[in-house]
Structures are given as C-alpha cells and as structure tokens.
Amino acid sequence: MSDLEIKNESSRLLDKQRRYLELDRRWLREEEKRRGRRLTSCVVTFGCQMNARDSEKLRGILEEIGFVNTDDEHADLVIYNTCTVRENANTRVYGRLGHLHNYKDHNPDMLIGICGCMMQEPEIVQTIREKFRFVDFVFGTYNVFALAEILYSRLESGSQIIDIWDHTKAIVEDLPADRKYRFKSGVNITYGCDNFCTYCIVPYVRGREKSRTPEDIVQECCRLASDGVREVMLLGQNVNSYGRGLDEPVTFPQLLTQIEKIPGIDRIRFMTPHPKDFSDELIDVMSRSKKICNHVHLPLQSGSSRILRNMNRHYTKESYLDLVSRIRERMPDVSITTDIIVGFPGETEEDFLDTLDVVRKARFDSAFTFLYSKRHGTPAADMEQVPDAVAKERFDRLLKVVDETAAKENSRYVGRTEPVLVEQVNEHDPSLVTGRMTNNLLVHFPGDASLVGEIVPVKLVSSKGFYYLGEKV
C-alpha cells in the first residue's frame, strides 16, 4: 500500500471507531441509570514505554465513552495490557487474572479485557479461551485503536470476544488519549521491528517495522504543544531506522530537525535507538540541537563480539566502543545509558569479561541489567543454555561494576545548576518535588505543586548515585 492508501484506510477505521464510541456512550448512560452510579474503568500496564503509550490510548477511549478512570482493579471494567518479552511476565498475568476472577464473583457485571503482546501468541489466546472463560474480550497489538468496537461486540453478543489481527498497515492515532502527565507525552513514530535479535519475541508479536509519515508526527506534536506539552518522547522499537519504508524516505535526524522547529516543545527525547543504525548525521543533529535531550540510551546487550553475532545484533565490541567515543567527542557532557543481558546461551567467562570491559570503558551513567530469560519461539531458546547459578554469579558481579561506574559518572554534576522539568510532588516527602534533568537523571528539591510542569534552574547539592538532591536557584 502507498502512503496515501494507508492514510485513507486509517481514516476509514477512525471514522468507524467514532461511530462505536457513540454506541458505547449510549449503553453506558443506560447502564449507569440502571445501577444508580458512575461506572469505573482501570487499565493495568505491563512492559515497555510502547505499552504505556498504548494504555494512554485505551484510557482515553474509555474516558471518551464516559467511564471514570481509576487505578483500582475492583473497577467495573478492567483491561490488562500485557508484555511477553519474558515468560515470567506471562505467569504474572495469569496470577493477576485469578484475582480478577474473585472480584468478578462479587460483581458479576464486571467486564474484563486483556490485550497487548501476549495476545499475539496463538497458544496463549487458546489458554485464555479454555481456562479463563470469565475474560470478556481479548485483542492484540495491531487493533488497540478498536477498543470501542470490541467492547460493543461483547455487549451485543454477551459472549467472549477474541479479536486478534496478524497484521495491519493502517496507523490510527487520532483517537483520544489520557496522558499520565499533562506536560509531556510519548509519540509513536514507528511500529514493529525488523531486527530479529535471536533472544527477542517482539518482531513476532509487534510485526514488521512501519513508519508514520513525518507530516502526521509533526501534526501530533503541534497538537500536543498547543495542549501544554513541553516534552515529547519519540517511541519505536528502533527509532533510528525511521522512514525507510515511506514513499518518500525521511531519516530520523531529518524528522528530529522538523520537530525541533515546533514552538512550545522544549525537550525532545527518543527511545530506543539501535547501535547499528546510529549515524554520524544523528550525532551531528543532536550536538547542534537546543532541544534534543543530552541523553542517549544505547543498548549494548553484550560486550562480546562472538555473543553479539549470535544475538544477531550486527555490531561488534569494537564498533560499539567507537560509536560511544564519537558520541562523546561531539557531546562531551552526554549521559549514556544501556541495556545488558547476562547469561545469553553459550556465554563463557571470557565473553562476560568482555562485557565488564565495555562497561568500564563506556562509562555508562546507568544500565538496565537482565538475566537472560529463555523465550520459546525465538532462535536463542534452542541454543545451549548457561546454568542458572553461573549466570546469577555473573549478574551480581556486573551489578557491582555498573554501580561503581555509574556513581562516579553521576557525581560529576555536583555543584552545577541545571534546568529541571518538575514532574510531581515527591511521593515520600511532600515538602519536595521531583524532576528530571535533560540527561534523564532525577532531582529532588524543596518545592510545591505549583512547580509541576515547569522547567526551573536547580543547583545540584549532592549525588545519591542515581538521583540528586538540589535546591531551586
């Protein structure tokens, strides 16, 4: 399909969903009259920032229908938006569904939905169909936008609805969203992934990569800016491969340049880039930008070139360190964070020592570290597995090195005054507010709710490893 055909199909689907929104509103008004109270809804998110953004859309649709959104799972309608990156995430969801079954026993009119990446696996859908008959509706990653239609189908039929798509080229983004923060928002720029890392299930459950047109992305960012959003996070499984499938290809740096021109947008973040696609053009655009945040999340996964090859990552230890060096050369004060997997199949002590070597040389500000989790359906699941005890021992050694390196890197800001976007009143001490610097580090400092959403200068008084204590200047 051409970009124009995709746009037309997306518009058709959007109009269809708007009709179902009205039908759901009518049902809700009648149901609230019958029960004599407002009906509530709860969306529970498992997984990544892409899932979090999908949940904002789900909450927005439910709010548009007329539900009162809540965090309480005793709500009249509950949706679990699932993650399937690790198999223990699936087990966790099954356990939580058991609790919902108990809630439904006390409230038979309760509606339960489950969606997200788990639902793109046929065997899991079959398990839901056979063992969790109390679940009212099931949908996947491709038709999140169709919640209003799926809900109405359940209300009309009175039976379990399973609506799983195996693909779509349509991109429906113009439905309402209920953002967690009024002053910052995620913006999807790509969907799916073409990388097929051997440990990762994402390409199989999120589909092949497709990009939104730059016009649609810029328009969304403009709407967000007019609604008071000051910071956008551009989201994709591999943001820096953005634009390759468009009729008129646009590079990710070119897209960033367009977004930077939008009045009202003060900060631009992105998640997640892939080292193999991190171009000199992107480094150049970031180094010159006044709005792109001084932070690069650059997943390493392993420091061993041999393991990286087995992971199908398409870079080496040497090329990764060279990229880090080129980034730091143009942005000396940049914060670099990463992801690391310990215990990938076939990992030897020598391979692990290569990982420790990269951690020390790259000087990460922080790292998300994971024990390898065997994921059925991926090539790595059939490889020779590392014994759990060996992997755990290496994991503990890695944490120690990461913590030592990060503490040293993060302390370099002490005494400086930095702009901080205040996100909330501190959860543990209401005399403090919590904000984030451009390098993504948290800062706690004295203040009140009037500062939330503002960018204020803060002197960094002391470093506590992964956050700072400061004072407003």
Amino acid letter, residue 151: L
Amino acid letter, residue 184: K
Helix ranges, 107-173 (H): 122-131, 147-157
**Separation CA 234–CA 240 (nearest Å):** 10
Rg (CA), the chain: 23
Paired residues of 161 in beta bridges: 137
Confidence of residue 66 (pLDDT cuts 50, 70, 90): very high
**Separation CA 342–CA 228 (nearest Å):** 41
Q: Give the CA angle between residues 371, 277, 208 to the nearest 5°.
A: 75
Residue 269, SS3 per DSSP = strand
Amino acid letter, residue 1: M
CA of 339: how far to CAs of 61, 98, 286, 296, 399, in Å?
33, 32, 21, 12, 12
| Span 326-355, average pLDDT | 97
Report the largest interatomic distance among the alpha carbons of the chain, rounded to a whole angstrom. 68
Q: What is the pLDDT of residue 72?
A: 94
Residues 250-304: tens digit of each pLDDT:
999 999 999 999 999 999 999 999 999 999 999 999 999 999 999 999 999 999 9
**Separation CA 105–CA 360 (nearest Å):** 54
Confidence of residue 407 (pLDDT cuts 50, 70, 90): confident
**Separation CA 144–CA 243 (nearest Å):** 23
Task: Supply φ then ψ for residue 227, to 5 degrees.
Answer: -95, 10
Pair 436, 424: CB distance under 8 Å: no
Residues 209-232: tens digit of each pLDDT:
999 999 999 999 999 999 999 999
Q: What is the pLDDT of residue 386?
A: 96
pLDDT above 90: percentage of residues in the chain: 80
Among 103, 42, 132, smallest CA distance to 124 is for 132
Computed over every residue of the chain, the mean pLDDT equals: 93
Confidence of residue 208 (pLDDT cuts 50, 70, 90): confident
What tokens appear for 204 in the block? 């199989």
Please give the torsion angle defined by the CA atoms of residues 12, 15, 20 and 22, in that order, rounded to the nearest 10 degrees: -170
Confidence of residue 180 (pLDDT cuts 50, 70, 90): confident
Of residues 180 and 68, more confidence is placed in: 68
pLDDT above 70: percentage of residues in the chain: 100
First to last CA, the chain: 54
Q: Which range is least confidently modeled, 13-27, 79-93, 98-112?
A: 79-93
| Span 79-100, average pLDDT | 86
Q: What residues have CB less than 8 Å from 353, skipping those under 6 apart?
A: none
Q: What is the pLDDT of residue 273?
A: 95
Q: Can you give the pTM of this predicted structure?
A: 0.88
The neighbour count for residue 76, using CB atoms within 10 Å, is 21
Q: What is the pLDDT of residue 221?
A: 97
What is the DSSP code (8-state) at residue 248? S
Amino acid letter, residue 369: T
Pair 139, 147: CB distance under 8 Å: yes
Q: Which range is least confidently modeled, 28-37, 47-56, 112-121, 181-190?
A: 47-56
Confidence of residue 50 (pLDDT cuts 50, 70, 90): confident
Pair 85, 202: CB distance under 8 Å: yes
Q: What is the pLDDT of residue 8?
A: 86
Q: What residues have CB less than 8 Å from 390, skipping those under 6 apart?
A: 343
How are beta strands 111-116 and 137-139 bridged, if at all? parallel
Q: Which range is least confidently modeled, 3-17, 342-356, 391-405?
A: 3-17
Q: Give the CA angle between residues 144, 145, 147 to the nearest 5°.
A: 75
Say whether pLDDT at 1 is over 80. no
Q: What is the pLDDT of residue 375?
A: 86
Pair 278, 321: CB distance under 8 Å: no
Pair 391, 372: CB distance under 8 Å: yes
Say whether pLDDT at 88 is over 80. no
Pair 304, 347: CB distance under 8 Å: yes
CA of 33: how far to CAs of 281, 316, 375, in Å?
59, 64, 47
Confidence of residue 86 (pLDDT cuts 50, 70, 90): confident
Confidence of residue 51 (pLDDT cuts 50, 70, 90): confident
